[in-house]
Homo-oligomer: A and B are copies of this chain.
Amino acid sequence: MSLSSKEAILAAARRAAQAHGYGGLNFRDLAEEVGIRAASIYYHFPSKADLGAAVAKRYREDTAARLEAIQAETADPLLCLHRYPEIFRQSLENGNRLCLGSFMSAEYDDLPEMVKLQVQAFADVNMAWLSNLLSATGVVNTRMAEQRARAIFAAIAGAQLMARSRSDISLFDALIESYRQAGLLPA
């Protein structure tokens, strides 16, 4: 059975936003991909801001679920941390797309307030997960875990941004490896 229109819109909007940003999202192209008319999107989402916020919210929820899945599969916190870059790598694998949080951070000035809130929440989810696992490893003390979590999140987002601009996933892998060698990420 196929997706409901609302779910199809959300999925297409997410893909578009990861490739072109919130500003690059447009209802006519979106509608064409879903197989309806642009005006029909307004039945499901009252405005572009609402659609953007819904996309960002879903993106955060999906990411949170994936992080929880990693933690469920992988008992060792060091191994969990080792797997963290997967999240960003998969966006590159999926059509050289960017993390939605990164793209929207670049566009931050021009985002509706309700979208900004979701972007912050996305970053918070990532940093909390990282901080929690860093503490669990004992590699850094609890006081430093939060600080290190922010640094890791920012650095990996930067690595993805650079790899995307070169359309080169192996560059992403090499950057992550460099972070490990340098000591930013646990080896």
Contact = CB atoms under 8 A, between A and B. Distances in A.
Contacts of A182: 148, 151, 182-184
Given A102-B106, A109-B19, A123-B165, A155 B148 contact: no
Given A108-B165, A165-B119, A165-B123, A175 B151 contact: yes
A84 interface: no
Interface footprint category on A: 35 or more
B161 A175 contact: no
Contacts of A161: 102, 105-106, 154, 157-158, 161
B162 A150 contact: yes
A136 B109 CA distance: 39
A93 interface: no
Contacts of A175: 150-151, 154
Nearest to A101: B165
A7 interface: no
A20 interface: yes
Interface in A3-59: 19-21, 23-24
Which 9 pairs show the lowest CB-CB distances between chains A and B? Answer: A158-B158, A183-B183, A151-B178, A105-B165, A155-B155, A154-B158, A182-B184, A154-B162, A157-B158
